[in-house]
A and B are shown apart, each in its own frame.
Chain A
Amino acid sequence: MEELEEKPSKIPKIGEVINYKDFFGEYPIIFGIKIISSLALVYVILEFYNYHNPLDSLITKYARGPIPGFKPDPAIFVVWSFIAGFGFYTFTLFKGKYKFFLLLATVILLAQYISDPALDWKVGEHAIPTKVEIENSEVNQTAWKWEPIKILYDDMEGSEKRIDDARIRVSNLIFGSIAFLGAFGIWKRKGWAIAGSIALAIIIGFLYSPNLCLENHDANFCGYEVKEQERTWDEYLSSGIFIGLGFIIYIELSYAAIKYENYAEQFKPAGLDISLLTDAQKKGVSRTLRTLFVSYLMNLGVMLIITFTLAEVVINVNDYLATSEGRIQDSVELQGPYGIVFTSLIFFMLLGFVRMFIGADYDTEDT
């Protein structure tokens, strides 16, 4: 019998175009960690910008010079920056030439989007040269007619508007870079990106000045009218606790995803994928990961509850001290930032005192 040679298909397999396995990962539990971590990231950034209006930032004040339409809105840019970070991660999954084609397609589509209003195409009656009878001629005379396609400059303003719009959207990444880097870091498993997103959050928070917007613009633009907002001291502290806990969840889970994925990675044959492991080996690794992660989550849960409780205790103690009468209250203004730091330091001192009496003793060995 003749051997039938199977012709290779011209359509590439999905695995040759994009490394989609990287997205789902090899163990569902790690995929789950990434999703929880992403949700924590989006929550914490939204909450962060709730208390750090980007319009009150020094960045906005100076960015409005070169970009007049710059008006960042957290409700838009947080989610879109997260999607952009995730999109960039997806882009990195494409292989070889497909990555280049995707980049090219993106550039072409953007160019088409910007130039579309400005360019109009006028197609002639005879786009292809045609022999046409000449009207009103005595003899049936014919002539070649050809009217080529013409490009007309039509709505230049429309294009300029689109360019401005695109510039403003891109400029939103200044504030959205926290979400962009965070999303990329979580899904691409890059520790530096996660650390970078936190560092940016600190920098952006540092450059925030309450009511700065009203000094330069009117209330319509800023979205609020009064200089002093209706938020109480307690609200700030409670929100700070939640933001702090949110950051801890985000940091812990994203680094845990990296750590456990690296742990699972070492069982792969060098440079190859998990498919070469036997079912028993896969199950073994899966079981270990499950045990580790469940223990980790329990630890994290307990620690967060204790941290939250302790923080609430500190606030309440501070509140009690601030509102009651006494010598300390007279000498230190406890109802303010210095007060909460002062009360916290007392608690840390107490914890350090307790720490002296519990824990392992490390005897120094004689040399």
Chain B
Amino acid sequence: MWSKKAAAVAGGAIFLTLAGLIRLNYLFISAGLVMLTFVVLASFLDVWMPNVSIRRETTSDNIFEDGTMSVKFIVKNTGLGLGFVEIYDGLPPQARIIKGSNYTLLYMKPWQEVSFEYTLKLPIRGHYHLGPVKMRVKDAFDLFYNERIEDTVHSFSVFPEIEVLEYQIIKSRSPKLLSGAMPLNLIGSGTEFYSLREFVPGDSLRSVNWKALAKTGKMMVNETVKEDVMDVIILVDAREVSAVGGGRDTPLEMSCRGAATYAKQLLDERNKVALMIYGESVEKVDLDRGEHHLFKILTALSSISPKGNLKLGIVLKDLLPYIPSGSPIILFSSLDDDFTISEAFTNTISRGYPITTISPSSLDFEEKMNRIPVEPLLIARMERENMVSEIRSFGMEIGDWKSDESVNTVLQGG
């Protein structure tokens, strides 16, 4: 194929020759003919152009937010030709290259194998792909080239970032048959301290609190919280309103990070976890346990996009009949633009489902972007505080999640 440069040089050369004929300028004629000869001769160079094959290798198929992925290209000249090869690997617009480059220019000799690599970082969850690879084999002067688009597309997912939680927060009164690490808020054999009581015959001496004995002179024993496995429902608000802000700073992104962290913790403790996402419709990942299930949940979280405006009241009304009785529900929602919240909480609690709310504050993002004037922002903050107080008045836990706080901190608060 002709490049723009080749067209310009050839056009200029023809113009010089013709202008020379018109003006009887011998110099123009000979200079134009020399340039034209150069272009014509360069067109012969593709006879010796290399025959190139490309292979892409990556370090992993999936990464977490802010994680890095190394991409290596192995380029091989399978023929006797030699020449310049330009390679460009297509990247998603969100990707940031932190080392190397996704573009390279090589001079390939016969049968030569060359490799180059670059490292990229993706700051935000989602499903992405690398490629296709654009390849140009061209002459040294960029006059003629052969272009090929390799359909070597590498798909991968970026999962929401997971933090390690330091404490268990959620408690359920609905034990299952298998014992586990989740505190049930019932007195029983476990590791978490619950209260002190007086020693009665039959108590193990191992449970005696010797410090309390020294202090009070009475035999006191430690009571611990009974631990067991349970079914936990994680409910994520993915309505359009949850996309307020930008980049990683949106209630939805924070919710995804929180949900991923919590799901990991719960699954590590051998609980069954279900994920429900509501926005335009309700999408579910059914109750299950294990590493494979975590992968399913993370994949579902990576796929979330903000859309729709389903209200929490309607969602819970539909879902509650299918949720095992007494199972704790963890709601990740900014609680914006939803008049059914009070009603939804009342219904859920009255049916015996404890509901813990983790609420990323969208007002912080609005404030950061200076999109709301001071007075309306103040009123909005007061309204939000009232909402949080109202939910607390139901006796349920709620974490008011500020944008600069880590998942770990807010869940402890929750």
Residue pair A360, B28 in contact (C-beta under 8 Å): no
Residue pair B103, A244 in contact (C-beta under 8 Å): no
- Tell whether B40 is near chain A: CB-to-CB under 8 Å: yes
Residue pair B101, A266 in contact (C-beta under 8 Å): yes
CB distance from A197 to the nearest CB of B (A): 12
Contact stretch, chosen from B139-147, B178-186, B200-208, B247-255? B139-147
Q: Enumerate chain A residues within 8 angstroms of B15, measured Cβ to Cβ.
A: 202
Residue pair B38, A295 in contact (C-beta under 8 Å): no
Nearest A residue to B96 via CB reads A270
Q: A341-B21, A360-B46 are in contact. Are A205 and B107 (CB under 8 A)?
A: no
- Tell whether B340 is near chain A: CB-to-CB under 8 Å: no
- Tell whether A338 is near chain B: CB-to-CB under 8 Å: yes
- Tell whether A155 is near chain B: CB-to-CB under 8 Å: no
Cα distance A285–B38 when bound, in Å? Answer: 30
- Tell whether A359 is near chain B: CB-to-CB under 8 Å: yes
Residue pair B33, A296 in contact (C-beta under 8 Å): no
CB distance from B315 to the nearest CB of A (A): 43
Interface of A is mostly: helix
Nearest A residue to B141 via CB reads A252
Q: Which of B8, B33, B44 contacts A340 (CB 8 A)?
A: B33
Q: A52-B27, A296-B140, A359-B47 are in contact. Are A303 and B41 (CB under 8 A)?
A: yes
Return the CB mask of A236-257 against B: 1 if under 8 Å, else 0: 1111110111011001100100
- Tell whether A119 is near chain B: CB-to-CB under 8 Å: no
Residue pair B142, A300 in contact (C-beta under 8 Å): no
- Tell whether A337 is near chain B: CB-to-CB under 8 Å: yes
Residue pair A340, B30 in contact (C-beta under 8 Å): yes
Cα distance A338–B336 when bound, in Å? Answer: 82
Q: Which of B12, B40, B47, B100 contacts A202 (CB 8 A)?
A: B12
Cα distance A114–B103 when bound, in Å? Answer: 54
Q: Enumerate chain A residues within 8 angstroms of B100, measured Cβ to Cβ.
A: 267
- Tell whether A355 is near chain B: CB-to-CB under 8 Å: yes
Interface of B is mostly: helix
- Tell whether B17 is near chain A: CB-to-CB under 8 Å: yes
List B254-294 residues whose CB lies under 8 Å from chain A.
none
Residue pair B29, A240 in contact (C-beta under 8 Å): yes
Residue pair A337, B24 in contact (C-beta under 8 Å): yes
Residue pair A243, B27 in contact (C-beta under 8 Å): yes
- Tell whether B149 is near chain A: CB-to-CB under 8 Å: no
Cα distance A358–B103 when bound, in Å? Answer: 31
Residue pair B31, A247 in contact (C-beta under 8 Å): yes
Q: A195-B8, A252-B141, A341-B21 are in contact. Are A295 and B107 (CB under 8 A)?
A: yes
Q: Enumerate chain B residues within 8 angstroms of A9, measured Cβ to Cβ.
A: none
Residue pair B16, A202 in contact (C-beta under 8 Å): yes
Q: A240-B28, A337-B29 are in contact. Are A248 and B35 (CB under 8 A)?
A: yes
Contact stretch, chosen from A62-70, A164-172, A305-313? A305-313
State how many residues of chain A have any CB contact under 8 Å with chain B: 53
- Tell whether B26 is near chain A: CB-to-CB under 8 Å: yes
Q: Enumerate chain B residues within 8 angstroms of A311, measured Cβ to Cβ.
A: 30, 33-34, 37
Residue pair A292, B8 in contact (C-beta under 8 Å): no
- Tell whether B351 is near chain A: CB-to-CB under 8 Å: no
- Tell whether A344 is near chain B: CB-to-CB under 8 Å: yes
Residue pair A355, B142 in contact (C-beta under 8 Å): no
Q: Enumerate chain B residues within 8 angstroms of A314, measured Cβ to Cβ.
A: 33, 37
CB distance from B35 to the nearest CB of A (A): 5
Q: Which of B17, B26, B27, B37 contacts A307 (CB 8 A)?
A: B37
CB distance from A52 to the nearest CB of B (A): 7
Residue pair A341, B38 in contact (C-beta under 8 Å): no
Residue pair A340, B29 in contact (C-beta under 8 Å): yes
- Tell whether B187 is near chain A: CB-to-CB under 8 Å: no
Residue pair A292, B5 in contact (C-beta under 8 Å): no
- Tell whether A95 is near chain B: CB-to-CB under 8 Å: no
Q: Enumerate chain B residues within 8 angstroms of A237, measured Cβ to Cβ.
A: 26, 30
Nearest A residue to B107 via CB reads A295
Q: A206-B19, A303-B42, A359-B46 are in contact. Are A337 and B31 (CB under 8 A)?
A: no
- Tell whether A263 is near chain B: CB-to-CB under 8 Å: yes
Return the CB mask of A249-281 against B: 1 if under 8 Å, else 0: 001100100010001001100000000000000
Q: Enumerate chain A residues within 8 angstroms of B17, measured Cβ to Cβ.
A: 341
Q: Enumerate chain B residues within 8 angstroms of A296, measured Cβ to Cβ.
A: 140
- Tell whether A233 is near chain B: CB-to-CB under 8 Å: yes
List A42-74 residues whose CB lies under 8 Å from chain B.
48, 51-52
Residue pair B105, A292 in contact (C-beta under 8 Å): yes
- Tell whether A143 is near chain B: CB-to-CB under 8 Å: no
Cα distance A122–B49 when bound, in Å? Answer: 79
Nearest B residue to A352 via CB reads B40
Q: Enumerate chain A residues within 8 angstroms of B32, measured Cβ to Cβ.
A: 244
Q: Which of A251, A252, A255, A307 contacts B34 (CB 8 A)?
A: A307
- Tell whether B165 is near chain A: CB-to-CB under 8 Å: no
Chain A to chain B contacts (Cβ below 8 Å), 24 pairs: A202-B19, A206-B28, A209-B23, A237-B26, A240-B28, A243-B31, A244-B31, A244-B32, A247-B31, A248-B35, A267-B101, A295-B84, A299-B45, A299-B141, A303-B42, A310-B41, A311-B30, A337-B20, A337-B24, A340-B29, A344-B36, A344-B37, A348-B40, A358-B44
Known A-B contacts: A299-B45, A300-B141, A341-B17. Give 15 more (CB < 8 A): A202-B15, A209-B23, A237-B26, A241-B30, A244-B35, A255-B142, A291-B107, A300-B140, A307-B34, A307-B37, A311-B34, A337-B29, A338-B21, A340-B30, A341-B21
5 pairs of A and B residues whose beta carbons are closest in the complex: A240-B30, A244-B34, A299-B140, A244-B31, A236-B26
